[in-house]
Amino acid sequence: MREPQAGALAAVAALDEPTRRRLYDYVVRQPGPVSRDDVAAALSVPRPTVAFHLDRLVDAQLLAVGHERRTGRTGPGAGRPAKLYRRSDRQVTVSLPERDYELAGHLLATAVEEAGETGGSAREILALRARELGERRGAAAADLTAALEAHGFEPRTEDGEVALGNCPFHRLARAHPELVCEMNLALVAGLLTGVGAPELTARPDPRPGRCCVRLTAS
């Protein structure tokens, strides 16, 4: 599952400081890990300032750190290993309102690949895999609200029903409404099953500016 929006926003906020952003841009453009001295010399920034900002970027998981002796010597007298920085493996995506095109791409690619292997209907496979994914993620969620919010659906109670104020696949749904809404419906139905909410049913209810799915009493 993608990381929560709050965590992604905090990571992006860490780059709002101009000097820190300069240091980050320099590190990630180098062919290999760099030390504090490398960065200080290249950018003409005092070493203590470099150390502070690089370690803040490590805390935000935007940079990864390792240690290496650059003298080529080992044993006593070889000196302390240098602290070296590189881009981390963390991927940060922020979208307001929340979107999750990576999830849609994963489900669509899985369906097309499986259909090619089995000769089955890609559309039917897509709905099946979306529902299975929803069940797994629903089972891992604290409750239904948490499950829906984690996927960017923005649930809200209206007239005893649950409306979903945001579609995490908005642009895809506009271009391919039937296909994406079927996938969406299957995903939300799976979340209901995984969470254990038999009192609610996911049904199609397309409205402007909303997700095409609504939760009503079973």
Q: What is the pLDDT of residues 129-168, one digit of tens each?
A: 999 999 999 999 999 999 999 999 999 998 889 999 999 9
Mean pLDDT of 188-207: 96
Q: Which tokens belong to 109?
A: 């690619």
Q: What is the pLDDT of residues 81-116, one digit of tens each?
A: 889 999 999 888 888 888 999 999 999 999 999 999
| Residue position matching structure tokens 């049913």 | 201
Whole-model pTM? 0.77
Q: Does 121 or 12 have the greater pLDDT score?
A: 121
CA–CA separation, 142 and 124 (whole Å): 29
Enumerate the domain spans of the chain. 5-87, 101-217
Mean pLDDT of 46-70: 92
Cβ atoms < 10 Å from Cβ of 96: 7
Q: List the end-to-end C-alpha distance of the chain, in Å, as a whole number.
A: 28
CA–CA separation, 103 and 20 (whole Å): 31
CA–CA separation, 97 and 18 (whole Å): 26
The CATH architecture to which 5-87 belongs is: Orthogonal Bundle (1.10)
Q: Output the pLDDT for position 9.
A: 84
Mean pLDDT of 123-133: 98
Mean pLDDT of 50-77: 82
| DSSP H or E segment with residue 102 | helix 101-118
Of 22, 48, 53, 24, nearest to 37 by C-alpha is 48
